[in-house]
Structure 1
């Protein structure tokens, strides 16, 4: 395996840190959109959590194997390409940088509850299921309407229905008024279980909520769980579906189509999920297979011009498939790895150590307080496997 590139020769080290500056990620020259709302203030960088999967991933800039061709220029603020099967990370831009998710968070909902609900079961929509942001995406569920749960999943994944997200979350949480809250808590528990420590859900749909964040790395972990489920794979590859008529409500049925254009335009596409809010901007998770190899791409904070989110994903997938199979800059941790180690990083809603509260993105990391440093030292000393997950440099045969 070629060494990962996290800094280029000739770029000056940050003053007093000995750490080389981040490589700028390739970006197209486009004007920022007018009236773009401010980006939510993320939690401070965590030096331990940012190195999960390999210390080369702890960067806000570009990380790719040495000697490979540059990835395409995309507007996504952060992105990552990884192998769904082996877990090898092929490259990324700020893979552990906190960003808001938008509707790609629905993949976490699926990873959490898709096995808990019978797809053939009929459910009845209640008024709270339609409690979504005005003007946000909905698949058109009707209060009092009866639908199979499989239709809700199709409405969620094809049409990004926030009404379907609420209904599925309510049902998975027991069906009562606290069902959605219980499912959101379960989503956060799932994220911790699989090592997606930078993910904190506030809504089941991905509609913006205070303190709601994820990262490109975490989305790849979540996608790996979701794509392991046969029903999920079937739903996200469905091109169009039918919303059943509701005779009792005197409403006819209608057809809806998959909004993820990758499945219509990319050979070997396995499906995925689009996302957009005015705060999060465009996000995307997509997967494809080629020559027996399955790759996943995740991206956050993108603009739709000159390329839409799925097109940026397609370009990054092409780049990933062009790399030799033995290239890697890190690893997707497995739930088995995580089960042997405690969480190495606080949740986004946890109070940050005082020394880190004034750290700016482009400034060198502040020193940990003695108490915080002691806590990290105790964790690392108690769990040799965590050191293996975070710091190991895997030796692999050189390129042939």
Structure 2
């Protein structure tokens, strides 16, 4: 009996000490599970960045009113093709991908478009969209030690060095400098405020699958996005001429620095990491790549074909047997060759400003515009003013009630 008690005690101790993931064996793939991405590996904390994404991310593709964003068909985690479409190009390796006509907003085809994955450095597209309007290109910035020492890929910014915003953005996009991302965030509104601003920008663009925790794309445990959301960010970036100008540069030079804290450093020449894409793909417009252990390879690119601009997003992909930009170009050629009039599988929605909601969906009775009110008319006074006062009072009481009800609640990331 004593031996049994000792053995039982030892087994209990081992059970407590064992890692939590040891009790959950990796499921064996079956025919019914091969059509969706495999589960992420168990997280570890041995490095500065997580080695795996959140294994159980919240479901994507649902808007704030419970609607299926971009169309109900996009909620599928399988490959989604137009009716009668030919077979896809070979050697597509991405767990999630999307190809869209950026001029019409039509999503031509996709796989797991709202599946939530790590973005890696293509998240810098959202960083650029968020910060460009706040940072004039000629403004000079002194780089902090924390920015210069950021983990991962570097543009070569020197702590204490002085650079223009233009130069830092070029380092961000040409060589995916994480030091540049941190320097821009600090120069704008501060790191934490930039992350919060990126999350607000994502929502304002209609990207509800995205949650940001770093300005560079370095992994965060809850930091996720989707192919659909990344296409929204790419479309927004292409509307900013500065982004396109930075992204297409072949090379640039960071000037020599001589900060007081260290000796003089020489000039640093940077070469665009996507030169193969720009040199080999006809109609290439812009491209951004990324990689972390959690994300694997990611790609966002745009190119022109048959008179239309197409965008491609690849998430959790590989660079063999073909590089990502070759896979992306193959998808665009396939999409552009579809017969005219092919129905899309979804749409890239454009958020509607609240003040334009009524105008965006006029009733039959309001098809003919009513004449504008003139000062002193019945439309401009009397009942209209009373109604406005009532709306303001009611709205204020409603907002106050919600604020009281929400006090003490802790806001949770999506």
TM-score by length of 1: 0.72
Partner of 1:115: 133
3-state SS, counterpart of residue 45 of structure 1? coil
Counterpart check, 1:250 vs 2:264? yes
**Larger of the two Rg values belongs to structure:** 2
| Structure 1 match to 2:195 | 184
What's the CA shift string for 1:114-160, capped at 9, x where partnerless? 11101111111111212422xx1001000111111101111000100
SS of the residue 2:109 aligns to: strand
Equivalent residue number for residue 311 of structure 1: 326
Pick aligned residue for 1:141 from 153, 157, 177: 157
1:322 aligns with 2:342: no
**Residues 116/139 of structure 1: CA separation in 2 closer, same or farther (3 Å cut):** same
Q: Of 147, 158, 172, which residue of structure 2 is paired with 1:129?
A: 147
1:96 aligned onto 2:107: no
Structure 1, residues 307-362: CA drift from partner, whole Å, max 9, x if none? Answer: 22222222212222222353311100112278879xxxxxxxxxxxxxxxxxxxxx
The answer to whether the Cα contact below 8 Å between 1:79 and 1:94 also exists between their aligned partners in 2 is yes
Given the superposition, is the C-alpha separation of residues 39 and 247 from structure 1 closer, same or farther in structure 2, using an over 3 Å criterion? Answer: closer
Report the CA distance shift for 1:37/1:167 in structure 2 as closer, same or farther (over 3 A). Answer: closer
Correspondence for 2:273: 259
Corresponding position: 1:274 with 2:274 = no
Alignment partners' CA distance in 2, 1:126 and 1:48: 40
Structure 1 portions without partners, runs of 5+: 1-20, 27-35, 174-178, 342-400
Q: Aligned partners of 2:341, 2:34: CA distance in 1, in Å?
A: 23
For 1:292 and 1:262, the matched residues in 2 are separated by 19
In 1, Cα distance between the equivalents of 2:180 and 2:243? 15
1:123·1:148 contact (CA, 8 Å) conserved in 2? yes
1:168 aligns to 2:168 (yes or no): no
Counterpart in 2 of 1:333?
349
2:227 maps to which residue? 216
Give yes or no for contact 1:22–1:60 (8 Å, CA) kept in 2.
Answer: no
Unaligned stretches of 5+ residues in structure 2: 1-31, 38-49, 358-414
Change (3 A) 1:196 1:93: same
Equivalent pairs counted in the alignment come to 305
Q: For residues 173 and 79 of structure 2, what CA distance do their matches in structure 1 show? A: 30
- 2:81 aligns with 64
Does the CA-based 8 Å contact 1:25-1:93 persist in structure 2?
Answer: no
Distance 1:113 1:315, change over 3 A: same
Runs of 4+ with deviation above 3 angstroms: 21-26, 36-39, 46-50, 337-341
2: CA distance, partners of 1:89 / 1:181: 34
SS in 1 for 2:134: coil
Provide the C-alpha distance between the structure 2 equivalents of 1:143 and 1:132, rounded to a whole number of angstroms: 11
Q: Secondary structure at the match of 2:231?
A: helix
